[in-house]
Structure 1
Amino acid sequence: MDQKDLINQIGQIRSLMEKSSKFMSISGLSGVLIGSYALVGAFVGYTLIYGFDSVFGYRDNYVNSELVPTLIFIAAAVLVVSVGTGYYMAKQKAKKSSQSVWNPTSKALFKAMAVPLLTGGILSFILLYKENYGMIASSMLIFYGLALSAASSFTFKELRWLGVLDIILGLLALCLPGYGIYFWAVGFGVLHIIYGLIVHQRYEK
C-alpha cells in the first residue's frame, strides 16, 4: 500500500466517523415545507392585523390586543404542523437508511437546542403579557437562531448559517420593530426554504 492509498483510506475513515457522529436524517424538503407554512402563517397574520389591501411599509402600531389569541393560535398551528412535518420526514429518511430517528446524536442535538428555545419561548410569553408586541418577532428570531447555531454541531453545517442569518434578522427587527412581521417572514419562511433546497441538492440527490 503506497502513501496515496493510505491517505485516501484515512480520509474515508474520517468521513465515516464524521457522518456517524452527526444526525443526517433531517430532510431538506421538510425545510422547504416548514418555510412555506411560516409564509402562509405570516400572510394570514398580516391580513388580520392590517387588512388584505393594506400597503406594505413601516408600522408604528403593531397589533390590536383583541387579535392576540387568534395570532397565538395561528403561530401554534404553524409550530405544530412544522414539528410534525419535520419529525415525519426525518423518520422516513432514517427508515430508508435503516437507522433510528431517536439516537444519541439526535438526543444531543435536541438538548443543544432546548435551552435557547425554552428561553426564547418564555421571553416571548413575558413580552405578550407585558403587551410589548414590537419585540416578539425579534426575540423569536434571535433565540431560534441561537438554537440552530448550537444544533449545527450535530447535523448539517448549513444549519449554522441559517442560525446566524436568523440572529442578524432578529437584531435588525429589534432596531426596526415596525418591520417585525417582514423580518419574521424572511427568517422563518424564505431562509428556511433556501436552506431546505440547499440541503436537498447537496445531500439528498
Structure 2
Amino acid sequence: MGRVSDLPQIGVLALQGDVREHVAMLERAGARAVPVRRPRELADLDGIILPGGESTTMYKLARTFDMFEPLREAIRNGLPAYGTCAGMIMLADQIEGGVPGQETIGGLDVVVRRNAFGRQVDSFEADLDVEDLAVPFHALFIRAPWVEKVGQEVEVVARIASGEAVGRIVAVRQANLLATSFHPEITGDHRMHALFVGMVQSRLDAADGSPAKRK
C-alpha cells in the first residue's frame, strides 16, 4: 500500500457496512482513508475503523478472510481502533445476547448488549452530549447495542439523555480504542471521526512517529 501523504493513514475494515461513508468522513476529518481487506494491509495503518453491520456476520467474514487474528494482534499491540455499532460489539471484551461461539477482538473492558435497542424497525435518532464536543451530536441508532457495564479504565463518552433508555451508555473510550453504539458516518457530521483522528495523531505525536517519519 505505502505512504502517499503526511496525513494519518486510517483503514476501514471493508468486509461489511458503510465503508465508503466512513472513508468520506475520515477524509473530511483530516486523514487519508483506505479500505482494508487483507492482513498485510494492516502494517501501513495508523488506525482502523470497524464499521457497523451485523456482528456475527462480521466475525465470520473476518475469520473467512483471515483478518480476525491479525486484527486482534494489531489492536492488542496498540493500533488505535474505532468501532461503530457492530464494531463496538467486536471491540468489547464481553457480549450479552450474542450467539453461541461468537468471538470478539476485544480490548474494551466493557459488557455490551447486542441489539439492545430492538430490531431495525425500532431505529431512532437522538441528540447526545458528547465529551470533547461543544455542540450535541445528532446520533442515528440502527439495531444498536448499548454498554451494560464498564471497567475502571473505561471513560464514558456519551449516554442517552431522555426517553425509556435514559442513562444508557452509547459511547466509550479506553486508551487507543473508541466505540459508539450509533452510526456517525451517515449523519453528515464528521466530528466523531475527527475525535478519532485526533486520538490517532496524539499517539503518533507522543511516539515521535508522525506519518512523515514512518514507513
What TM-score do you get using the length of structure 1 for normalisation? Answer: 0.30
Larger radius of gyration: 1
What TM-score do you get using the length of structure 2 for normalisation? Answer: 0.29
Higher strand residue share: 2
Q: Which has the higher contact order (CA 8 A, sep 6+)?
A: 1
